[in-house]
Amino acid sequence: MRRLAGDHELPGRHRARSGADGRRDLPPVPASLMRVTVLVPAHNEEDQIAETLISLQRQQRRPNRVIVIADNCTDATERIARAHGAEVIRTVGNRHKKAGALNQVLEVLLPHLGPLHAVLVMDADSALDPGFIHHAISRLATGRLAAVGGTFTGKPGGGMVGMFQRNEYARYARDVRRLQGRALVLTGTATLFRALALKEVVRARRSGRLPGDHHVYDVRVLTEDNELTLALLHLKFRILCPAECTLTTEVMETWRDLFKQRLRWKRGALENLADYGWTPVTLPYWGRQLLSLLGIIVIFAYLGSTAWSITVAGGVEVQPLWLAVTLLFVVERIVTVRSRGVRHMAIAGLLFVEMIFDVFLQITQAKAFWDAAWRRERKW
């Protein structure tokens, strides 16, 4: 791989240092001098890689280098990537999907990156909005943050299942904005990392301070982006998903594909927490898992109560508790998709429509709990 011009292995003065709040700062640098390398792992993405690369060409702050990592491709992904000006690097014997593909390139790339370098990792089915890199660089250059992630909306398609995902993504983006960018996960769709932070992750894994092998990404896990987020937080780095860093990403177009995706996400999150254990960092994540478990209990108690009323009592008897739960659910569904417009607010207000997706997610979560508890084989 061609070497990048710039800093190589870092002297001690360039490493992270503790800030006043106990978190670690990185050396501040001029935003105009930062160099951005984009890594796009791609496996047979001929239908979407062009849109992804065009979105990089249209950035207000264009990257210095774009590398498409062709992972066992058998289609036209490589040819299309080269036609759009990207470098292409093929993986060699990779059996670890996205994490393994990224590790192969980062192992060669990272030793030649220093304080002025940032690495943008993005999915081949995502497209950045024009200001993404500009706003992310302006945040990273201060040295206060180790990584800046994006919030995303869903691409068209997928019929009803696609609509549910786009509504879900709108709600997620709203929650992140309300928390002023304090997201729990650096999404794998697109995140810009300071190179120094990634090098620190590698050092920590090699010394045993973090789980995983001696690479940036832990190839044992199902959700490598969630695990890397936990790694950075355990090293006391700060992360952020600012409202200005936005993108669009693919939605799953069938219930079957969506179930497989969400089961991997949910089980992966559980197993990431098991790897790190009970720590001050993982406490809010364990809390979310507890809320998910309570959500499963509530939704099935609600449905069970309704079914019992219909089959045994001969009709639905309105109970004040369940009426209040129903009204809260409807209001929350409507308010949280305001960014999608009046039509989607009206659809969200139909209880039985939104309940379909909510029950689907709860079934997926229950399956993730079950598989993790019985240690069933991890599958992508």
Per the domain annotation, does 42 fall within a domain?
yes
Do 66 and 206 sit in the same domain of this protein?
yes
Per the domain annotation, does 192 fall within a domain?
yes
Tell me, what's the pLDDT at 318?
62
Higher-scoring residue by pLDDT: 54, 366: 54
Q: Indicate the pLDDT class of residue 320, thresholds 50, 70 and 90.
A: confident
Per the domain annotation, does 274 fall within a domain?
no
Higher-scoring residue by pLDDT: 355, 124: 124
Tell me, what's the pLDDT at 19?
58
Higher-scoring residue by pLDDT: 23, 237: 237
Determine contact, residues 139/258, Cβ cutoff 8 Å. Answer: no
Do 89 and 223 sit in the same domain of this protein?
yes
Higher-scoring residue by pLDDT: 9, 286: 286
Q: Residue 234 and residue 313: Cα distance in Å, rounded?
A: 54
Q: Residue 285 and residue 86: Cα distance in Å, rounded?
A: 37
Per the domain annotation, does 130 fall within a domain?
yes
Determine contact, residues 129/138, Cβ cutoff 8 Å. Answer: no
Do 102 and 27 sit in the same domain of this protein?
yes
Tell me, what's the pLDDT at 9?
40
CA distances from 292 to 134, 173, 339 (A): 36, 19, 25
Mean pLDDT of the chain: 88
Q: Which two tokens stand for residue 16?
A: 């992270």
Do 291 and 329 sit in the same domain of this protein?
yes
Domain boundary pick from 236, 253, 270: 253
Tell me, what's the pLDDT at 182?
87
Among 7-21, 178-192, 198-212, 346-360, which stretch is predicted with the lowest mean pLDDT?
A: 7-21
Do 185 and 85 sit in the same domain of this protein?
yes
Domain boundary pick from 237, 253, 269: 253
pLDDT tens, position by position, 79-103: 999 999 999 999 999 999 999 999 9
Tell me, what's the pLDDT at 279?
95
What's the CATH number where 63 sits?
A: 3.90.550.10
Higher-scoring residue by pLDDT: 15, 293: 293
Q: Residue 156 and residue 48: Cα distance in Å, rounded?
A: 13
**What's the average model confidence in pLDDT over 58-65?**
98
Among 12-26, 64-78, 85-99, which stretch is predicted with the lowest mean pLDDT?
A: 12-26
Tell me, what's the pLDDT at 5?
40
What domain range includes position 73?
Answer: 12-253
The candidate with the shortest Cα–Cα distance to 119, out of 260, 111, 127, is: 111
Tell me, what's the pLDDT at 162?
95
Q: Which two tokens stand for residue 238?
A: 């700060």
How many domains, the chain?
A: 2
**What's the average model confidence in pLDDT over 205-225?**
94
Q: Which two tokens stand for residue 229?
A: 């987020």
Q: Indicate the pLDDT class of residue 14, thresholds 50, 70 and 90.
A: low
**What's the average model confidence in pLDDT over 309-318?**
66
Do 214 and 317 sit in the same domain of this protein?
no
Do 186 and 297 sit in the same domain of this protein?
no
Tell me, what's the pLDDT at 129?
97
Per the domain annotation, does 290 fall within a domain?
yes
Give the rounded percent of residues in the chain with a pLDDT score beyond 70: 88
Domain boundary pick from 231, 253, 275: 253
Do 155 and 241 sit in the same domain of this protein?
yes
Q: What angle do CA 181, 184, 190 make, to 5 degrees?
A: 70
Give the rounded percent of residues in the chain with a pLDDT score beyond 90: 65
Do 229 and 289 sit in the same domain of this protein?
no
Per the domain annotation, does 261 fall within a domain?
no
**What's the average model confidence in pLDDT over 111-124?**
97
Q: Answer yes or no: is pLDDT of 374 > 80.
A: no
Tell me, what's the pLDDT at 319?
66
Tell me, what's the pLDDT at 207?
96
Q: Indicate the pLDDT class of residue 6, thresholds 50, 70 and 90.
A: very low
Do 119 and 214 sit in the same domain of this protein?
yes
Do 171 and 235 sit in the same domain of this protein?
yes
Do 175 and 217 sit in the same domain of this protein?
yes
Q: Which helix (H) or strand (E) holds 351?
A: helix 351-373
Q: Indicate the pLDDT class of residue 150, thresholds 50, 70 and 90.
A: very high
Tell me, what's the pLDDT at 300?
75
pLDDT tens, position by position, 235-287: 999 999 999 999 999 999 999 999 999 999 999 999 999 999 999 999 998 99
